Amino acid sequence: GNSVTQMEGPVTLSEEAFLTINCTYTATGYPSLFWYVQYPGEGLQLLLKATKADDKGSNKGFEATYRKETTSFHLEKGSVQVSDSAVYFCALRRDNQGGKLIFGQGTELSVKP
């Protein structure tokens, strides 16, 4: 079946450090891939997405590249800020299955000044 696996958290970094949150997926066909972020006290927000192999999604300094050969969609940011502290969720969507998202377990990121 379809599934998403993320690296476990919590991840604690100092401000301006480099961030990588690993995400791998299992799916038949060609899913769309997403990163959602949940800031404290808020709902999930779409951070970035990629809909086909080799696409790079980017937003707010975050990037992720759809790698079909390694079935991965790792999230990266070159210099994190305290305001990036949140829970990050990787997800996939099979576009011929009505749009439901399949999420990983989430990775909590804490950035210290």
CA of 31: how far to CAs of 17, 28, 36, 47, in Å?
31, 8, 16, 17
Residue 29 within binding range of other proteins, rule CB under 8 A: no
What does the block give as tokens for 33?
């891939």
Residue 1 within binding range of other proteins, rule CB under 8 A: no
Distance CA 76, CA 20 (A): 5
The CA-based angle 67-70-76, given to 5 degrees, is 55
Contact (Cβ atoms closer than 8 angstroms) between residue 57 and residue 63: yes
The correct pick among 65, 76, 101, 110 for binding other proteins (CB under 8 A) is 101
In the bound complex, what is the minimum distance in angstroms from residue 16's beta carbon to other proteins? 28
Residues from 52 through 91 that contact other proteins (CB under 8 A): 89, 91
The DSSP secondary-structure symbol of 60 reads T
In the bound complex, what is the minimum distance in angstroms from residue 99's beta carbon to other proteins? 2
Q: Total number of residues binding other proteins (CB under 8 A)?
A: 24
Residue 41 within binding range of other proteins, rule CB under 8 A: yes
Residues binding other proteins (CB under 8 A): 4, 32, 36, 41-46, 49, 89, 91, 93, 95, 97-106
